[in-house]
């Protein structure tokens, strides 16, 4: 799962160079939705009908985790290196922990707070490419801002999911959010000119889109939830820390991206901070 999710940064980096963000997002989740519907029917026996109180949370899940996240994801990776983008996104657990503490009264220990400070410091080093003062002087690029939008979108998705999944299985929630997000993405994708551009996409573009839709979305989430069932949520969450590691390694091997000291230092701080933040 961690390797598959790490690979999404490489696939998105490639796809983002030739496919517009809404178009890439829609095609990704059109593919994902088809597979998820079949998997849900096989595992759940049917697609459960939503109750009235579940409709709004599901729509919000689709708007945040699918629509907004993927627009920011593809827009950011158009200019930001896959390895650097993956480290920035790896700060997700930090902000989820902070907001869970604020809104759900979840406890934060001294170790957790230390992890938050370490992770945020590492993210600043990565975003600023080793020159934190550059951010203050207006050196934050548009691509980095988009990637930070990914973080904000996923934090909202995760917090909404805490409530939505109380009486809904994760698989059903993911399936419905993909369907809702895909429908919302269709119209801006058409406005970008997707229907006329589809024939122009290369085999590499389609390979990347299929990877994102099937391996990154369907298989990644399915294996993640199967992992939770086998070893528990606490142990499974630790493996999330391997996502940026796999992304950096794959970016070096496939995209020939170079490692610099700021990326290595920031990555160690972010991953270490994320581990401490989630430590009980």
What are the tens digits of pLDDT across the range 19-34?
999 999 999 999 999 9
Closest residue by Cα to residue 86 from 257, 206, 204: 257
Whether 178 and 61 have beta carbons less than 8 Å apart is answered as: no
Q: Reply yes or no on whether the pLDDT at 168 is more than 80.
A: yes
Rounded to whole angstroms, the Cα distance separating 71 from 187 reads 13
The reported pLDDT for the residue numbered 201 is 95
pLDDT of residue 216: 93
Q: Give the Å distances, CA to CA, from 110 to 114, 164, 238, 250.
A: 6, 30, 19, 34
pLDDT of residue 30: 96
Give the residue, 155 or 22, on which the prediction is more confident.
22
Task: Give yes or no for residue 241 having a pLDDT over 90.
Answer: no
In 11-132 the beta strands, taken as DSSP E runs, fall at none
Q: Round the average pLDDT of the chain to a whole number and report it.
A: 88
Cα–Cα dist 97/212, whole Å: 27
Check residues 267 and 27 and name the one with the higher pLDDT.
Answer: 27
Tokens 């070096």: give the residue: 252
The whole-number pLDDT of residue 182 equals 95
% of the chain with per-residue pLDDT over 70: 94
So where are the chain's domains?
Answer: 2-278
- Nearest alpha-carbon partner for 67 in 228, 219, 174, 177: 177
| Least confident stretch, 91-95, 152-156, 231-235, 266-270 | 231-235
Sign of the dihedral through C-alpha 9, 11, 15, 21:
negative
Considering the chain, what percentage of its residues have pLDDT values greater than 90? 46
For residues 154 and 91, the answer to whether their CB atoms sit within 8 Å is: no
Decide if pLDDT at 164 tops 80.
no
Six-digit token string for 264: 């290595």
Take residue 136 and report the two structure tokens written for it: 């203050």
pLDDT for 185 equals 97
Binning pLDDT at 50, 70 and 90, where does residue 134 land?
low
> What burial class does residue 150 get, using C-beta atoms within 10 Å of its C-beta: 0-12 exposed, 13-18 middle, 19+ buried?
buried
Query: What is the signed CA dihedral for 275, 71, 65, 13, rounded to 10 degrees?
Result: -40
The pLDDT, as a whole number, for residue 237 is: 66
**103 has a pLDDT exceeding 90:** no
Q: Which residues contact residue 223 at a Cβ distance below 8 angstroms, ignoring those fewer than 6 apart? A: 1, 4
In the prediction, which pLDDT does 234 show?
Answer: 61
User: What is the reported pTM?
Assistant: 0.88
- Comparing CA positions, the residue from 22, 25, 48 lying closest to residue 173 is 48
Q: Is residue 157 within 8 Å of residue 65, measured between CB atoms?
A: yes
Lowest mean per-residue pLDDT among 99-103, 173-177, 202-206, 265-269: 99-103
Which DSSP symbol is given to 213? I
Please work out, in degrees rounded to the nearest 5, the angle formed at the alpha carbon of residue 60 by the alpha carbons of 175 and 243.
Answer: 60
CA distance 233 to 167: 17
pLDDT at 137: 58
Q: Is the dihedral of CA 168, 174, 179, 183 positive or negative?
A: positive
Averaged pLDDT, 25-47: 93
Residue 258 DSSP one-character state: P
> DSSP label at 105?
-
Distance CA 192, CA 157 (A): 25
Q: Please give the radius of gyration of the chain, using alpha carbons only, rounded to the nearest integer.
A: 18
What pLDDT score does 82 carry?
A: 94
Q: What is the average pLDDT across 104-111?
A: 80
């Amino acid at each position: 799962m961690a390797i598959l999710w790490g690979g999404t940064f490489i696939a998105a980096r490639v796809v983002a160079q030739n496919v517009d963000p809404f178009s890439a997002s829609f095609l990704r989740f059109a593919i994902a939705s088809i597979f998820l519907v079949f998997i849900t029917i096989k595992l759940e026996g049917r697609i459960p009908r939503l109750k009235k109180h579940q409709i709004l949370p599901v729509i919000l899940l689709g708007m945040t985790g699918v629509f907004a996240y993927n627009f920011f994801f593809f827009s950011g990776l158009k200019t930001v290196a896959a390895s650097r983008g993956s480290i920035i996104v790896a700060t997700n657990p930090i902000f989820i922990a902070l907001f869970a503490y604020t809104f759900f009264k979840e406890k934060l220990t001294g170790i957790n707070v230390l992890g938050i400070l370490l992770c945020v410091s590492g993210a600043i080093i990565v975003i600023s490419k080793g020159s934190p003062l550059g951010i203050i002087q207006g050196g934050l690029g548009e691509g980095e801002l988009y990637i930070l939008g990914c973080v904000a979108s996923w934090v909202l998705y995760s917090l909404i999911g805490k409530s939505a999944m109380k009486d809904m299985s994760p698989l059903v929630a993911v399936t419905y959010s993909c369907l809702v997000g895909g429908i919302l993405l269709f119209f801006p994708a058409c406005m970008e000119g997707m229907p006329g551009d589809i024939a122009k996409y290369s085999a590499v573009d389609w390979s990347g889109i299929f990877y994102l839709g099937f391996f990154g979305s369907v298989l990644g989430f399915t294996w993640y939830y199967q992992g939770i069932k086998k070893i528990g949520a606490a142990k499974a969450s630790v493996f999330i820390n391997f996502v940026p590691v796999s992304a950096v390694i794959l970016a070096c091997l496939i995209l020939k991206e170079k490692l610099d000291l700021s990326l290595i230092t920031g990555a160690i701080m972010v991953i270490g901070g994320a581990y401490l933040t989630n430590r009980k």
